[in-house]
Amino acid sequence: MPQNSPNKKLENVKTVYTFWGRCPLLYRAQDQITFLGRAKIIRSRAIKMIGLKKGNKVLEVACGSGRNFPYLVEAIGRNGLILGFDYSQEMLDSAEKWCERNDWETIKLVHGDAAFLNINETNFDGVVSVLGMSAIPGWKDALQRCHDVLRPGGKLVVCDARLFSGLLKILNPLVKAIYSTLAAWDPSKNIPETMNEVFGNVKLEKFNGGTFFIAVSVKKSGKSGKNTG
């Protein structure tokens, strides 16, 4: 098996997130470092950009331990559906405990690889992924599946991290080494560009000096999203 084959990468995802799933407090602490102290602002902004209404149905791809659930629950209320999907059973176990503590009964959790996104539900009002696409080995297939399960007019919101530009570029080798090892992060992916290819549209907002972005694509009507009018 080649070193960087998707299977090897998935194995790495499993190893890395087994650790984080078992250490939820540590994950919360590193979250603040990753977002440079702005986790709440950026996460709530990402969820707001889906444009959810009460009672809507939303999918979170690579939901992890559920850091976005409070914002999603607030957006859809207690009557909608939040489907959290992740490859790490340990992250999902941690998410489940948090749901139980908060009585979030509208949240369902599904285990699997986002490249296949084997779920029964379709016609989601929104799909979101925060720091997920940069870790998912089959991310291009995952973006296509996100498109497929949205209703026409539904939005995909991807919030993710990038390397520094400008003077702080000097830190990039260190940042890349740390986050690729500890978070299976691959900053070489051009996620907004692929969203544009799949959906035929994308809008971008940048945060933290360009090291974070929120990209939004809207599903057009028609069979394929690939530049259909």
Min separation Cβ 166 and ligand SAM, Å: 25
Strand arrangement of the beta sheet that strand 203-207 belongs to:
107-111, 81-86, 57-61, 124-130, 150-161, 212-218, 203-207
Q: Find the shortest distance in angstroms from Cβ 23 to ligand SAM.
A: 13
Q: How far is the CB of 177 from ligand SAM (least distance, A)?
A: 16
Distance in angstroms (rounded) separating the CA atoms of residues 194 and 189? 9
> Which residues in this chain contact ligand SAM in the complex, by CB under 6 A?
13, 17, 62-64, 67-68, 86-88, 91, 113-115, 130-132, 135-137, 183
- Report in angstroms how near the CB of residue 1 gets to ligand SAM at its nearest: 17
- What is the closest distance, in whole angstroms, from the C-beta atom of residue 222 to ligand SAM in the complex? 27
- DSSP state letter for 51: T
- Residue whose CB is less far from ligand SAM, 28 or 226: 28
Contacts of 41 (CB under 8 A, 6+ apart): 207
- CA 80 – CA 58 distance, rounded (Å): 8
Residue type, 107: I
Which CB sits closer to ligand SAM, 74 or 152? 74
Nearer to ligand SAM, 137 or 225 (CB): 137
Closer by beta carbon to ligand SAM, 11 or else 193: 11
- Residue 11 or 105: the one with the smaller Cβ distance to ligand SAM is 11
DSSP 120: S
CA–CA gap between residue 176 and residue 105 (Å, rounded): 38
d(CA 192, CA 102) in angstroms, rounded, equals: 34
DSSP H helices in the chain: 6-22, 24-34, 39-48, 69-76, 89-102, 139-149, 172-183, 191-199
Cβ proximity to ligand SAM, 60 vs 125, nearer residue = 60
d(CA 166, CA 143): 29
Q: How far is the CB of 60 from ligand SAM (least distance, A)?
A: 7
